[in-house]
């Protein structure tokens, strides 16, 4: 095996396109220089499209969680009540952040592997009328579920004044996102998932209504105080030294998305989801989620007759192929395959072919090629045979 060849099919970090890799190694420039200011200004139009917003998209230096924390500290304070919709580990993360700031958390727990229902959110809000913000996860990376974020704000607004705050880290950039049209008050994402960049940048945008709340909040902290970032952006700058190299990479990544065209980017992700699911179905290996809840960017598989972690080990040693295991209560029980960002249907055919060999190697009886053929069929059905 080529020791330097690896196949990264985990739901983040994800592979980096060669042109982004090159951009990342451009010579450093001063973060207060004209060049960096110009670069910084030029990033906004692309980010607006990714978020589906006309609001400023603020760029933080930190992993995705820094922006989740920013969403919390900027909108609510100790003693305030919030509702956190927990569909998996990343819902738990919002709970953890809120509790760290002594915010009173009401949980809406949803069975892991399924999406939440907006009617249940409305019920919870009626029970807890003092809730100031509802926290939700767009793609729950730990289960491969895409939640009905398109419907959430409208449902919340019907029964409550609460802000709707959404973690879109593992799908924004890969699935259609219309923050403004959907009425999302705060949307967060990170660099290392669908945006084809290394970890290290987090992005956050807020609605007019959310900004009013943020500006009135006296406890915004220091590093994550979004008012500072908004003021910075007005001067095409940041309050603290940004990860300049990652901004070079972001510039290139946004251009790649633009060149491919957003509708095609979204269609590519949908195709990869369908190919992956068809392959496992045809091999009779259960999927964790139903078709309706399944994410475009990550597929969770729940084996019932082989050891998920032993399978992952074989793939790693045989091919340098990394797929993810379960998190939290699903540890050791599921496999998670990332198909987002710099990943194509061609990559998935290769990944599925490698996985079939891995299955045979751990002793699962399958008909070689069956999963790949199912994926090929999906490809041809969706893309045409001519």
Ligand X SMILES: *Cc1c(COP(=O)(O)O)cnc(C)c1O
| Residue numbers at the binding site for ligand X (CB under 6 A) | 12, 63-65, 90, 137, 141, 167, 169-170, 190, 193, 199
| Nearest-angstrom CA–CA distance, 303 and 319 | 21
3 state DSSP class of 329: helix
Q: State in angstroms the smallest separation of the CB of 256 from ligand X.
A: 21
> Looking at beta carbons only, is 276 or 295 nearer to ligand X?
295
> Looking at beta carbons only, is 88 or 358 nearer to ligand X?
88
Q: State in angstroms the smallest separation of the CB of 11 from ligand X.
A: 6
Q: State in angstroms the smallest separation of the CB of 12 from ligand X.
A: 5
Tell me which residue has its CB nearest to ligand X: 64
Best CA proximity match to 244, nearest among 25, 13, 20, 41: 25
CA angle 363, 350, 299 (to 5 degrees): 75
| Nearest-angstrom CA–CA distance, 304 and 62 | 38
| Nearest-angstrom CA–CA distance, 106 and 91 | 12
Q: State in angstroms the smallest separation of the CB of 289 from ligand X.
A: 15
Q: State in angstroms the smallest separation of the CB of 192 from ligand X.
A: 6
For residues 145 and 117, the answer to whether their CB atoms sit within 8 Å is no
> Looking at beta carbons only, is 190 or 249 nearer to ligand X?
190
> Looking at beta carbons only, is 63 or 75 nearer to ligand X?
63
Q: State in angstroms the smallest separation of the CB of 52 from ligand X.
A: 18
For residues 312 and 156, the answer to whether their CB atoms sit within 8 Å is no
Bond prior to 349 in cis (omega within 30° of 0): no
> Looking at beta carbons only, is 190 or 345 nearer to ligand X?
190
| Residues comprising the chain, all counted | 386
In the Cβ-directed half-sphere of 17, how many Cα atoms lie within 13 Å? 21
> Looking at beta carbons only, is 99 or 264 nearer to ligand X?
99
């Amino acid at each position: 095996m080529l020791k330097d060849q690896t196949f990264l099919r985990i739901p983040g970090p994800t592979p980096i396109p060669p042109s982004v890799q090159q951009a990342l190694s451009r010579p450093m420039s001063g973060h207060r220089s004209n060049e960096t200011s110009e670069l910084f200004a030029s990033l906004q139009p692309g980010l607006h499209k990714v978020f589906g917003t006309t609001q400023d998209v603020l760029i933080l230096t930190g992993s995705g969680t820094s922006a989740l924390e920013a969403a919390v500290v900027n909108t609510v304070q100790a003693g305030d009540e919030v509702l956190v919709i927990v569909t998996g580990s990343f819902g738990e993360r919002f709970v953890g952040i809120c509790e760290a700031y002594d915010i009173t958390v009401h949980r809406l727990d949803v069975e892991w592997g399924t999406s939440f229902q907006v009617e249940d959110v409305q019920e919870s809000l009626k029970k807890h009328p003092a809730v100031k913000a509802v926290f939700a996860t767009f793609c729950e990376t730990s289960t491969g579920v895409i939640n009905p974020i398109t419907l959430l704000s409208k449902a919340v607004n019907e029964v409550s004044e609460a802000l709707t705050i959404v973690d879109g880290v593992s799908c924004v950039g890969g699935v259609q996102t219309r923050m403004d049209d959907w009425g999302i008050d705060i949307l967060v994402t990170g660099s290392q998932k669908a945006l084809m960049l290394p970890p290290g940048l987090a992005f956050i945008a807020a609605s007019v209504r959310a900004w009013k709340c943020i500006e009135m909040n006296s406890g915004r902290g220091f590093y994550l105080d979004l008012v500072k970032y908004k003021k910075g952006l007005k001067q095409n700058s940041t309050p603290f030294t940004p990860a300049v190299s990652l901004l070079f990479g972001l510039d290139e990544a946004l251009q790649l998305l633009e060149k491919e065209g957003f509708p095609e980017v979204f269609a590519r992700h949908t195709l990869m989801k369908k190919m992956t699911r068809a392959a496992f179905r045809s091999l009779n290996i259960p999927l964790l989620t139903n078709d309706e809840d399944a994410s475009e960017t990550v597929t969770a598989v729940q084996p019932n007759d082989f050891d998920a972690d032993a399978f992952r080990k074989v793939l790693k040693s045989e091919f340098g192929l990394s797929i993810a295991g379960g998190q939290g209560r699903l540890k050791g029980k599921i496999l998670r395959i990332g198909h987002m960002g710099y990943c194509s249907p061609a990559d998935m055919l290769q990944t599925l072919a490698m996985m079939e060999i891995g299955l045979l190697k751990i002793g699962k009886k399958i008909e070689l090629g069956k999963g790949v053929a199912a994926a090929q069929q999906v490809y041809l059905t969706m893309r045409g045979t001519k």
